[in-house]
């Protein structure tokens, strides 16, 4: 059975962030995810979750200076101590919010850093984070992102992601599969999902082109939702798309896809 989580970074932007929890619940969502909770006290976010009977599905570790264009620091050799501090901060929030799993953004490779240096840094950081989070019972995810939207991003495809997971060698590191990003980078969505289902505990969606709602582009979501049920996917699917003409106005795609 398909479980949809509203991504509150992308959806319900018509209201302030702390009001989006109520909007998500009013519009039928049972779970939520977002990029970061760290601009707000954890207790305040937890109160919104409780008030609206929402499950906290996923958020990311701190990812550097997001407003300044950074998209993660896990592959930055000169930011290791900052990364480790971010792991501690994420754990603090997870314990209060009850977050089911956390995601790491590998980041854009810094100028002057080789691919090999970036990979070695990422692997070492993932080993550290996976072990520390495992001790707290928190699954760790990594995500591949398309280089059209984020040029220079380190982790860009399924094979590379699986290779990194193998090099880390932890049973607490998994693949967050973003349908939109992987459609742009490699396609072959259904077979990839089926082949790697054991290491994919979370999926995100948007259509292409535009990163809008399912049904606005080229991806056959009617097929994919049915296919995910058939292969036994049990996790959440995060709705991480840009509403084309207003969040509530665009939610009709769920009924159109039998959800």
For 224-239, how does the pLDDT look when each residue is reduced to its tens digit (9 = 90+)?
A: 999 999 999 999 999 9
pLDDT tens for each residue of 192-222 = 999 999 999 999 999 999 999 999 999 999 9
Whether pTM > 0.75 for this model: the answer is yes
Nearest-angstrom CA–CA distance, 130 and 168: 9
Number of domains in the chain: 1
Going by C-alpha positions, the residue among 172, 176, 157 that lies closest to residue 235 is 176
pLDDT tens for each residue of 95-110 = 999 999 999 999 999 9
Going by C-alpha positions, the residue among 26, 33, 23 that lies closest to residue 3 is 33
218 is annotated as an active-site residue: no
The stretch 39-46 carries a mean pLDDT of 98
Q: What angle do CA 123, 126, 129 make, to 5 degrees?
A: 155
Q: Which of 33, 119, 213, 240 is catalytic?
A: 240
pLDDT tens for each residue of 53-103 = 999 999 999 999 999 999 999 999 999 999 999 999 999 999 999 999 999
pLDDT tens for each residue of 174-189 = 999 999 999 999 999 9
Residue with token string 């860009």: 156
The confidence band for 160, taking pLDDT boundaries of 50, 70 and 90, is very high
Q: Report the pLDDT value the prediction gives residue 58, as an integer from 0 to 100.
A: 98
Q: Report the pLDDT value the prediction gives residue 158, as an integer from 0 to 100.
A: 98
Does residue 1 register a pLDDT over 90? no
Cα 130 to its chain centre, rounded Å, is 16
Name the β-bridge partners of 173: 140
Q: Which of 116, 143, 188, 213 is catalytic?
A: 143
Q: Residue 136 sits in which domain range? A: 3-257
Residues 6+ apart with CB under 8 A from 148: 184
Does residue 142 register a pLDDT over 90? yes
Nearest-angstrom CA–CA distance, 2 and 45: 25
pLDDT tens for each residue of 112-124 = 999 999 999 999 9
- Directed axis angle between helix 115-135 and helix 158-168, to 10°? 60
Residues 6+ apart with CB under 8 A from 221: 205, 207, 214, 215, 253, 257
Q: Are 164 and 123 in contact (CB under 8 A)?
A: yes
143 is annotated as an active-site residue: yes
The CATH number that applies at residue 124 is: 3.20.20.150
Q: Report the pLDDT value the prediction gives residue 161, as an integer from 0 to 100.
A: 98
| Mean pLDDT over each residue of the chain, to the nearest integer | 97
Name the β-bridge partners of 232: none
Q: Report the pLDDT value the prediction gives residue 127, as an integer from 0 to 100.
A: 98
């Amino acid at each position: 059975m398909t479980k949809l989580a509203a991504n509150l970074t992308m959806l319900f932007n018509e209201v302030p962030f702390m009001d989006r929890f109520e909007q998500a619940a009013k519009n039928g969502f049972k779970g939520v995810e977002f990029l970061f909770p760290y601009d707000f006290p954890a207790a305040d976010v937890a109160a919104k979750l409780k008030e609206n009977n929402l499950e906290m599905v996923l958020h990311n570790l701190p990812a550097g200076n997001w407003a300044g264009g950074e998209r993660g620091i896990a592959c930055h050799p000169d930011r290791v101590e900052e990364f480790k501090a971010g792991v501690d901060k994420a754990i603090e929030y997870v314990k209060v919010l009850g977050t089911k799993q956390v995601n790491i953004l590998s980041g854009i490779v810094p100028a002057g850093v080789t691919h090999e240096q970036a990979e070695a840094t990422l692997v070492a950081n993932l080993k550290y984070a996976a072990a520390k989070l495992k001790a707290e019972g928190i699954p760790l995810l990594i995500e591949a992102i398309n280089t059209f939207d984020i040029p220079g991003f380190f982790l860009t495809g399924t094979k590379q992601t699986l290779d990194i997971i193998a090099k880390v060698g932890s049973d607490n590191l998994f693949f967050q599969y973003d349908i939109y990003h992987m459609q742009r980078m490699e396609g072959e969505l259904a077979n990839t999902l089926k082949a790697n289902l054991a290491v994919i505990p979370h999926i995100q969606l948007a259509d292409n082109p535009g990163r809008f709602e399912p049904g606005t582009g080229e991806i056959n979501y009617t097929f994919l939702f049915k296919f995910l049920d058939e292969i036994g996917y049990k996790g959440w699917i995060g709705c991480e798309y840009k509403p084309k003409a207003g969040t509530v106005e665009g939610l009709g795609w769920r009924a159109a896809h039998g959800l």
